[in-house]
Every structure is written in C-alpha cells, then in structure tokens.
C-alpha cells in the first residue's frame, strides 16, 4: 500500500494464518507459471531499498512488530510501502505453497503425458515435433526450473527471528535480512509477476502506465454496487471462512487503483479494463454543518464493531470484510470495504490527498470556479493556436485525425458523418469524416468514441439517430452514445453544446465549429456554388430558407442553387496541446462515463474511460538537450530522493508517441534539405517541442485565387530581421510533417491559390511558457518564404512572463453528473470585463444578458460591461466595446411568418438586452452619457454578396456569426462554445466548454496612440478577424493596429460598417433594416420587392438586374455588381431600430407562447 512516511501505522495489522481449500489453491496457482507477456505487470525487474526500520515501542524488541519502510523503483516510477515481518511471513508461505503445488502439477502433467504415450490415458498419444511444442498444452517445467522459482526459507527466517542483541543491532540485522529477502524474490520475473508478489507490492496493470500519472495506493477492496462478477469462490470471498456475513449480501472483491484525479476498480490486478471509474470533481463548498468544505473521503462508523467505513465525497466508497468507507461522486454514492480500520484510514488519507493535492486539486475549485487548474504557470508544454472559419479548422482536424495512433474523441451538438473536411470535395473523398474514421479504425486505432447530443426531434432536425447508425456501421472500434434520454432524465429544454475533437490526448480542438453541414467556409464567405464544387448536396445550407426534413440522401440538394444563396458561416476555433488538452479530455471522459452509466450500464462493448494525466507531456515533448542534461542530474540524485509516491519524469521523447511529425531524421530527401538556408537549420534540435505544434495548409489549386488581406502581416507583427532566415522557395515551420509537403511547401506561383495561413485564417502556435523558449528553439526559428504568411514564434528572453491557459466550462448534474453547478465560463466573462483597461471585442451567436436587478435574465455579462463603461466615463478615459453578432437568428422562417415565433422571440430578448426598455444597456448608458454612448459601445453584423453562378443573379446573405470569443486589451482571449445567454452561462442548462488564454508572449503594438506591448495570440487573432471584416490587405494592417484610437475606431471600423450598410440597402433593400419599424411595414416592403423581382429570398437577398439612380437630375442605370464593388469586407451596422415598435414575444395562438421563456434566452 502506498503511504506517506508519516503514516507509521499504515499497513495490515492482522496476523492470523489464513488457510484455503486445496482445490482452490491449485486452481488459482497456475498463474505462477511463466506468464505470457500480455499478463505480466513487470517487464523488467524492479528494485527495492529499505529506507528505515521502526518499532511501535522502543522497549519492545519483538522482531515481528518491526515496521519496514521500503522504497520500490520501476522504470520512472517509485513508491513506498510500510511492511511488517508478519507480512513477509505470509508472503513467503504463499510462495512456498504455490511452488509445491506447481511441482505437483508438473509431475501430474508428466505422468499424464506418459500414460497417453503408451495408450493408457484418456486420449491417444500425439507425437509432437521437438521444435514445435503443442500450443494448447501447458508448457512443462523441469525440476531445475521449479527450484529456480523457489524462495528458500532460510532467507525469510532471519526476518521473522533475527539474532538477539541490542535494540540497534536487532534493527540493523532485520534491515539486512529484509533487504536480502527482497533481492531474492525481486530477482525473478516469474515470481515478481505472481499474484502474491503483485499484491504485496500493490501493483497492477495500471500502475506503470505513464499516461495515468504517478503510482499511488492500490489494494483489494470489497464493493456491493457492481453487477455480479463471475469468479472462483476463493477469489470472490473476502475471507476463507463461511460464517462471516461480510462474505454475503453481494459483496465482491475488486482491485482498487488510486491515481491522481480518479479511482479505478478492476476485476483483477492483471486486467486493466475498469469495472468502474470514479473521476474526482469539485466538492461542495460546505458540508451543510458549518464545518467547511467536504472531504473527499471519510470513514463510516457502523454498529457492527467488526466493520469500519470510510466516506468519500466526490468519489466512491471502499469497504472491507469488517471496515467501511463511502465515496460520493456527483450524484453517486458507493460503499467500499477494507480489512481493518487502519486500511480504511490509509484509504481516506490517500484519496483525500489525491483529490486535493496541488497542482491539480481536482476537488478544489480553481480560478473562476473552474474544475481545471491554470496551465502555463510552469514550462509544462502548453500550446495554443487559433483558426478563423471552417476551412482552416477542418483541415487541421483532418490532419490530426490522420495522425491518430490510439484515441479519437468527438463530441458535438451536431455531427455529420458525410462532412468533407477538405474541399473541393470531389478531389478529397478520403477527407469525409466517416471515411477518415474508418481508415483509422482499420489501421488499428482502437478507441474512437463519439458523443452526440440527443435532440428533441420535434424542435430540431439534426437527426442524431441517423448519425449514430451511420457511425456505428463504420467499424466495431467506433463507439457512439447519444445523451440525454429526455423521458428518463426529464431534460427537454437544454442541450449538450460543446464542440470537441481530441486526438491521442495530445491535441484537442475546441470552439464554435460543429463537424456538420453548413460550417465549412473561407474568408471570402461565398453565397453561391453552382455547379457544386465546395458545398455538396445538403452542405449548401441556409437554415433561414429551409431545414432538411431528412438527412438520408446527403448529396441531394435541399435548396435550388440557382435561386437561393447559402448562408455564409463565420466561426473561430482553437487547438490546444499539453495540459490544457488533458483537461478538455477529462471533461469528455466525465461526460462519456456519465452517459454510459445512464444509457448502457451493462453494455460491455461500451467501456468506461479513464482520464490521462498531464505529467506525461514533458515525456513526449522532450524539451531539448538541456532536459537530457537535467535528466542525468536528476538520475544521479535519484537514490537520495525522499519524496513519497513521486513520479520521476524522463525526458526521453520515445516514451510517448507524438501526434504529428515523427520523422527523426528530418526532411524526406537531400534535395529538399538543400533548399533550407544553412544558417537556420531546424534539424539541429531533435526535440518534440519543435514539432507538432502548429498547422499550416494550402488550398487546392482548383479553387480560384484569393485576395491576400493578411499579406505582410508577419512583418507588421514581428520586428525580427528575416534576412538570412529566408530561402528562395521553401518554408519550414515547426509542426510540419515532412511527408505532407502540402503543409509547408511553397507553391509555384502563377494561377496558384494561397493557403489558409496566407489569408490570415491560421494563427501562431503560441507556447504557454516563455521561460526556456530560447533553449527550446536554440536559434531554430521557422523560415518564411516571401509568399507564405505564417506567424513567427519569436526568440524571447528566458525571464519574460509566461502565457496562462485555463479551461472553463458550464456543467451540472444533468449534463456531466457533477454534484456542483459549474459556471466558470460566466465567471470568466465577468471578471475579464471588469479588469479590462482599454477595449473589449466580442463575437457571439447571441447577446442576451441582464443588468443588476433583472429577475428574468440571470447572467451578468451586461452588468459587467455597464459598470466598466461607467467607470471609464467617470474617469474620463477612452474605452471601447465592440460587439459583433448575427443580423438575424439562424432559424427557419420569414420574420412575419406564423411559424417564425421562435425567431422573433430571440430577437425580443436580444433587443431587450441591447437597446429597448429599462433593462437594456444602451438606454441606461444614454440616460447618463447621452449621444457619446456610441463612443464606448457599438454593435455590428456581417454580410456578404456574390453571384449564385456565372451570369446568374446577384445575391446577398448575412454572414452568420457563430464564433464565441472575447478579446480584451489585445492580451487575453476567451474562445469556446458558450453563447452569451443564460442557456450557456448559468451552468445548470446547456453544457459548454472553452479556454481562456492570457498572453505574456508580447509583440510591439499601440494602444490609445501610445506604444504598448500586445499579446501575440490575442493581437494576431484580432488583426486577422478585423482584416477579414474590413477587407484590408496586408499593407493596410497598420490602420487597425491600435483598436482604440479614433483613426481606427471611427475612421476605419465605424465608417466601413456605415458605408457597407448603405450600399447593401441601396442594392438589395435587405432585411433587417433600420427603415422597417413594424411587421406591417415589413409586409408592405416585402410585397413591393417581390412584385418588382418576381422572386427573392426570404430576407430579400436578391438584387434587381439593373439599379436606377439619379445623377444631376438625370436617371441612369448601373449593374448591381458595379455598386457593390465599393463594399469593403463584410462589416455592417447592426439595425438597432428594426421592428422597434413591435412586441416580438410569442402570442397566445403560437405554440411558443406555451413554452418556457428560458428556451429562448
């Protein structure tokens, strides 16, 4: 049992001899034979050192009461156990007993074979070739091999009765005797891998899996909550007797494994598949009795004096034949037994320590009340990279899935099996999601888990049943769960809204993008695709026009491409490496296990998952040669280490496979290698930190040439002199797989297309720790070709502050089985707004929030914004808040249609938040600040236009803003799946997840007209977004470098939005519009344009063939495209006066009237 040194009372206290029936011993002994590799725990011999010998009473010289603190070492693991001489005696007796039975069995086998050979046995003799032993027969062992596996009694006798003498002499002799005995049985792999020795050492198949963290406490316990486990009687019972009641009442013996962050229950130490897994989570702040925060584990006092219990809050319960403990995880409460009160106390201490010890402290709330600790406080390998719009993110996700080695986790509100992650789809058939997963399953990826939101079919048409059937038909390695069951859980209103892809616990993708139709897009945000090249079938998607009733034939168009535009989709996604990725994976594990227990508790094909531990990250990151030196220094001091249960990290990057590039020799060919500038050789550093840390992509050559709004962006960001660091034709960047040349090879120019990086859609891969970056890169900066727009990871001083990352989420009992409602996303929003110094930039799908005193809307993002603006006004300081949201909710139905009540309801709550009524922010600010309110806060949307096909009609559609981000002061970024409304932020409703990234890796910038350092991650993301929205080219980036100064805010941002809005109004008279104040006015407006055009889209998105205008009193006609050429980017003003005289709430004859208003906000 793993124990702290201070626990001198730890260890088993019983010394009664336990006899077992002979048949049971024989049946259970055969595992002592030479084990197959798959059943072994130890692949090499462990080492043991006696640290100290102690006695309970200095006057007691009985050797049987001596306690030995033994430190064991195996590979990079070490742990300490406290053992007594009596424990060694019982171990020795068990080994001798097994050796005797082994010898008897071998003799029996020899006699049986001899009888069969002479024709007397039950079966005729079979002649075997000497070189080809029968695989079905148990291999025989000669007497000599049995002797080799025997442990002589003469080695154990001195431990039990060391020579008498002075007290110090007895202890020393006992220590020498114990060391000799340990060396004897630890010197044979067969003996070490026997059940008796593994139990003595407290080890199992999970003990030395580095992905689960350091080795902690393990032992047999009894449980009652599990289904019956078929076992032999001697294994099933907790003791050999037949009269103790503890052996009855469905109690079963299992092996408990405690790891940092979870407790696993195994059927057997040699079986790594858990019967149950208890993932530690936040504890209640109080136990209700005023005694402070609950402990993770507590001992339970029961009436039966022979039974002791332990109660663990947020875990499970352990009990023994006579002693009990109880563990509570979320809404679960499980009892366990241990054999003595001392063992119960050991379990209580060990579990509490595992759940509360830093840095994770999974049972203790971290910043913002999050389940996850802040990352990047040390050099822990945390990395982050942003992606703007679907193309960049989907290509990165596809590349990550293609590199998967062991696990792929997917979680989504909507997941489409037929989604193409690369376009044009005709030339990328293998990039379809189901094809990618099928290929990886056939290549041996065993664990492909997909967790789908089970929608209310009457309300949504995402058809998760179809997706589940389709995924399950791919391969047996693909496991799918849908959750929740609405009837059994009573959850009808809320949804699982996370968008997650996790690969090998090494990289994850989070943000606003679901892997579903309609999400793939580029910075152009095209409205047409005829003939289909980019968006096949139902992927040509416009939910404002129509939602498909069936997804069975996905390649069949839902919309007439010649008449209706698609709705462009704007989104932001993020990739995380290192500990933040492990935190996101832990969230997935919690949700998967909770869904499995509720949906398929007895389905063996759907396993429980165990969260992996972040401490393994330095292993596969390999942090360079300096780490190798440090490793040697650590190993030199290894024997002097006194830390208990510690995990000795090895820097060798062969320990854990990498997700991305794994070619140790660098480039594919000498020709390619010769293209690199010799002054900057990326191959000088054989570190994993220099690999697998960023994505770069190129578009297919069949796509048209794109403009380059971000060309030259890097030169504006970084002041590094790139001369001497550039090659004439090839760029190499960390993280590129050299076997995938399209990731990094610069294309020959002509009619070529540009990569997502070149259009500013892929961000820099930023490490979360600047300290040590010089050593990490060792001068090996990525190269840039003149045509490639990447983002340099600049060489920083090793003393610069680090970047912090924290995973935040919204979960509760219904969504993840937690005992506490976690609203860390809401807390993060409010805290960041309060601490903002200069500006706040928000993009979100919704903006529904409340001021203080609002009894309907409970989230307080709006209140935080109001207070921060008022503080700036009172201090007479410049402060900007820019909010970009959709022009209309992305749901089906014309705004005046009877079936569009839900659209109008959402509009009501958004306008109530923004500008209408006493609870709106603009009205409250206007009462104090007056017309200058818009100097502090303003609202915008996005719109795009184009021809539906060559020579076809000119169409426009809103660009649906689906991103969920907030950038504060160009230093802090929040990216996730949470909308700004009560559904996403309260924690008790929709489940959400996101990440907060605080930049400390800085770049030169300006704020308020003054030089100021900006965070590289946040700053580059904002510039990318703004350049896309404003239609800026690389040379114009300086115009938006300072987001606060009037020349940016007024002259560029506001002016562009105003001009674009006026042009769209002139050409399309599109909806929504500030000129339409009522439903009656909208009906009249729609009728006029439908009569004029004959056909139009649901929001007046088609232009007339000719535009009429007056010039000096003369009327002239122009082409719509000629007028639209003046549009820059996609930014337009949000129509604050649209429907301003209407009450948009549902009325009594609409079904939405009888639904809870909480559904809409």
Rounded to whole angstroms, the Cα distance separating 770 from 776 reads 10
Write phi, then psi, for 423 (nearest 5 degrees): -130, 155
Handedness of CA 1151, 1156, 1157, 1161 (dihedral sign): negative
Catalytic residue among 259, 339, 343, 497: 497
Query: Which residue among the candidates 573, 964, 1000, 1029 is catalytic per the annotation?
Result: 964
How are beta strands 1002-1007 and 1010-1015 bridged, if at all? antiparallel
- Active-site annotation holds for 234: no
Contact in structure between 1073 and 1065 (CB atoms under 8 Å): yes
In the set 78, 87, 92, 499, the catalytic residue is 499
Which neighbouring-strand residues pair with 337?
Answer: 222, 324
Please count the CA atoms within 13 angstroms of the CA of 860 that sit on its side-chain side: 16
**CA 952, CA 1088: separation in Å to the nearest integer?**
22
Largest CA distance in the chain: 123
For 647-696, give the DSSP string.
B-----TTSS--SS---TT-SSSHHHHHTS-TTS-GGG---GGGSSS---
Q: Which DSSP string corresponds to 203-223?
A: --TTTT-GGG-S---EEEEEE
User: Which entry of 962, 1000, 1019, 1161 is annotated as an active-site residue?
Assistant: 962
CB 769 within 8 A of CB 382: yes
CA pair distance 704, 698, nearest whole angstrom: 13
The answer to whether residue 699 is catalytic is no
Q: Which of 346, 379, 504, 935 is catalytic?
A: 504
User: From CA 1127, how far away is CA 961, in angstroms rounded?
Assistant: 19
Are 538 and 556 within 8 A, CB to CB? yes
Q: Would you call 969 a catalytic residue per the annotation?
A: yes
Which secondary structure element, helix H or strand E, spans residue 252, and what is its range? strand 252-259
CB 47 within 8 A of CB 72: yes
d(CA 728, CA 713) in angstroms, rounded, equals: 19
Active-site residue 740, yes or no?
no
Counting every residue written for the chain, the total comes to: 1161
CA–CA dist 674, 691 (Å, integer): 20
- Helix then strand then coil, in percent of the chain rounded to 5, is 30, 20, 50
Distance of alpha carbon 1056 from alpha carbon 524, whole angstroms: 17
Does the active-site annotation cover 964? yes
Task: Please give the backbone phi and psi of residue 807, each rounded to the nearest 5 degrees, phi first.
Answer: -80, 130
Q: Tell me the three-class secondary structure of 78-138, residue by residue.
A: EEEEEEEHHHHHHHHHHHHHHHHHHHHHHHHHHHHHHHHHCCCCCCCCCCCCCCCCCCCCC
For 968, phi and psi rounded to 5 degrees?
-120, 120
CB atoms within 10 A of CB 286: 11
Give the ranges where 224-340 is alpha helix by DSSP (H).
233-236
How far CA 755 is from CA of 395, 419, 595, 697, 762, in Å, comes to: 11, 21, 40, 5, 9
Question: Using an 8 Å Cβ cutoff, are 499 and 412 in contact?
Answer: yes
**Interatomic CA distance for residues 122 and 139, integer angstroms:** 19
Give me the torsion for CA of 272, 276, 280, 281, rounded to 10°: 140
684 counts as catalytic: no
**Residue 6 CB contacts under 8 Å (≥ 6 apart), including other chains:** none
- Catalytic annotation, pick one of 219, 346, 379, 969: 969
DSSP secondary structure letter of residue 33: S
> 336 near 321, Cβ under 8 Å?
no
- Cα angle 785, 787, 789 (rounded to 5 degrees) comes to 85
Catalytic center residues: 497, 499, 504, 962, 964, 969
């Amino acid at each position: 049992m793993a124990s702290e040194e201070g626990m001198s009372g730890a260890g088993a206290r019983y010394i009664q001899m336990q006899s077992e029936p002979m048949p049971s011993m024989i049946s259970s002994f055969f595992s002592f034979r030479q084990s197959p590799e798959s059943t072994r725990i130890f692949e090499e011999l462990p080492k043991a050192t006696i640290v100290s010998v102690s006695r309970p009473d200095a006057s007691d010289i009985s050797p049987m009461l001596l306690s030995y603190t033994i430190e064991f070492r195996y590979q990079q693991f070490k742990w300490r156990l406290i053992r007594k001489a009596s424990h060694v005696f019982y171990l020795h007796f068990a080994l001798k007993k097994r050796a005797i039975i082994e010898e008897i069995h071998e003799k029996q086998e020899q006699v049986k074979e001899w009888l069969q050979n002479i024709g007397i046995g039950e079966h005729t003799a079979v002649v075997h070739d000497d070189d080809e032993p029968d695989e079905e027969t148990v291999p025989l062992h000669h007497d000599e091999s049995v002797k080799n596996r025997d442990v002589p009694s003469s080695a154990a006798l001195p431990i039990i009765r060391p020579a008498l003498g002075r007290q110090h002499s007895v202890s020393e002799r006992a220590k020498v005797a114990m060391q000799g005995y340990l060396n004897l049985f630890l010197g044979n792999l067969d003996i070490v891998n026997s059940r008796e020795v593994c139990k003595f050492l407290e080890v199992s198949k999970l003990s030395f899996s580095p992905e689960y963290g350091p080795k902690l406490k393990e032992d047999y316990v009894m449980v009652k909550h599990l289904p019956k486990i078929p076992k032999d009687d001697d294994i099933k019972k907790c003791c050999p007797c037949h009269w103790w009641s503890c052996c009855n009442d469905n109690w079963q013996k299992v092996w408990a494994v405690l790891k940092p962050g979870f407790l696993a229950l195994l059927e057997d130490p040699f079986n790594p598949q858990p019967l149950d897994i208890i993932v530690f989570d936040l504890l209640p702040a109080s136990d209700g009795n005023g005694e402070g925060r609950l402990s993770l584990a507590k001992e339970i006092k029961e009436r039966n004096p022979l039974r002791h219990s332990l109660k663990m809050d947020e875990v499970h319960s352990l009990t023994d034949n006579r002693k009990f403990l109880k563990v509570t995880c979320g809404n679960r409460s499980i009892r366990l037994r241990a054999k003595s009160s001392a063992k119960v106390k050991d379990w209580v201490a060990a579990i509490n320590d595992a759940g509360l010890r830093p840095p994770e402290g999974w049972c203790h709330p971290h910043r913002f009340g999050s389940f996850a600790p802040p990352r990047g406080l040390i050099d822990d390998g945390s990395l982050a990279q942003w992606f703007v719009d679907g193309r960049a993110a989907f290509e990165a996700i596809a590349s990550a899935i293609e590199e998967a080695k062991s696990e792929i986790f997917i979680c989504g509100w909507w997941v489409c099996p037929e989604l193409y992650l690369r376009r044009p789809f005709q030339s990328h058939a293998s990039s379809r999601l189901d094809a990618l997963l099928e290929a990886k399953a056939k290549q041996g990826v065993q664990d492909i888990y997909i967790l789908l939101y089970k929608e209310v079919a009457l309300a949504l048409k995402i058809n998760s049943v179809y997706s589940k059937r389709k995924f399950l038909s791919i391969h047996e390695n693909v496991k799918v769960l849908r959750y929740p069951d609405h009837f059994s859980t009573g959850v009808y209103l809320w949804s699982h809204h996370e968008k997650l892809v996790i690969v090998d616990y090494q990289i994850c993708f989070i943000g606003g993008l679901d892997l579903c139709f309609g999400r793939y897009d580029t910075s152009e945000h095209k409205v047409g695709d005829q003939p289909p090249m980019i968006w096949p079938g139902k992927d040509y998607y416009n939910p404002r026009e129509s939602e498909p009733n069936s997804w069975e034939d996905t390649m069949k168009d839902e919309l007439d491409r010649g008449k209706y535009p698609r709705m462009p989709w704007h989104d932001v996604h993020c990739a995380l490496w290192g500990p933040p990725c492990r935190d996101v994976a832990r969230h997935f594990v919690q949700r998967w296990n909770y869904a499995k227990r509720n949906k398929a508790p007895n389905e063996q094909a759907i396993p429980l998952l165990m969260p992996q531990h972040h401490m393994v990250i330095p292993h596969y990151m390999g942090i360079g040669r300096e780490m190798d030196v440090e490793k040697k220094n650590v190993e030199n001091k290894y024997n002097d280490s006194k830390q208990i249960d510690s995990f000795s990290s090895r820097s060798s990057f062969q320990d854990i496979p990498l997700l991305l590039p794994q070619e140790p020799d660098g480039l594919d060919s000498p020709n390619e290698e010769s293209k690199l500038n010799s002054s900057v050789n990326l191959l000088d550093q054989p570190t994993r930190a220099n690999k697998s840390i960023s994505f770069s992509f190129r578009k297919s050559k069949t796509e048209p040439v794109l403009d380059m709004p971000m060309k030259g962006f890097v030169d504006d960001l970084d002041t590094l002199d790139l001369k001497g660091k550039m090659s004439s034709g090839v760029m190499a960047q960390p993280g590129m797989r050299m076997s995938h040349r399209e990731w990094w090879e610069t294309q020959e120019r002509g009619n070529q297309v540009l990569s997502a990086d070149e259009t500013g859609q892929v961000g820099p891969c930023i490490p979360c720790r600047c300290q040590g970056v010089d050593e990490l890169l060792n001068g090996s900066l990525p190269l840039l070709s003149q045509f490639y727009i990447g983002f340099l990871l600049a060489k920083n001083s090793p003393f610069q502050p680090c970047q912090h990352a924290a995973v935040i989420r919204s979960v509760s009992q219904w969504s993840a089985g937690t005992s506490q409602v976690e609203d860390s996303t809401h807390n993060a929003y409010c805290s960041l707004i309060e601490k903002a110094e200069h500006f706040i930039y928000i993009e979100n799908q919704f903006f529904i929030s409340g001021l203080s005193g609002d009894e309907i809307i409970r989230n307080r993002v709006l209140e935080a914004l109001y207070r921060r603006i008022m503080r700036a006004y009172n201090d007479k300081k410049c402060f900007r808040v820019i909010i970009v949201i959709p022009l209309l909710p992305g749901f089906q139905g014309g705004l005046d249609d009877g079936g569009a009540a839900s659209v109008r309801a959402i509009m009501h709550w958004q306008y109530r938040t923004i500008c209408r009524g006493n609870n709106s922010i603009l009205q409250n600010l206007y009462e104090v600040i007056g017309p200058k309110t818009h100097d502090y806060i303003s609202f915008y949307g996005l719109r795009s236009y184009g021809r539906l096909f060559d020579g076809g009609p000119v169409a426009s559609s809103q660009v649906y803003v689906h991103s969920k981000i907030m950038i504060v002061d160009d230093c802090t970024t929040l990216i996730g799946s949470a909308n700004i409304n009560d559904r996403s932020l309260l924690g008790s409703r929709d489940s959400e997840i996101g990440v907060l990234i605080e930049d400390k890796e800085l770049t030169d910038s300006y704020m308020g007209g003054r030089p100021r350092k900006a965070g590289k991650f946040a700053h580059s993301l904002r510039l990318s977004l703004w350049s896309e929205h404003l239609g800026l080219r690389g040379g114009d980036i300086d115009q938006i470098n300072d987001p606060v100064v009037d020349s940016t805010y007024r002259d560029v941002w506001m002016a562009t939005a105003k001009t674009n809005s006026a042009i769209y109004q002139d050409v399309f008279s599109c909806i929504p519009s500030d000129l339409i104040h009522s439903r009656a006015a909208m009906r009249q407006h729609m009728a006029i344009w439908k009569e004029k055009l004959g056909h139009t889209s649901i929001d007046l998105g088609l232009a007339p063939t000719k535009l009429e205008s007056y010039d000096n009193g003369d009327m002239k006609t122009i082409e719509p495209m000629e007028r639209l050429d003046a549009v820059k980017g996609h930014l337009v003003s949000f129509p604050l006066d649209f429907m301003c005289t209407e009450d948009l709430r549902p009325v009594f004859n609409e079904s939405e009237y009888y639904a809870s208003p909480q559904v809409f906000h």
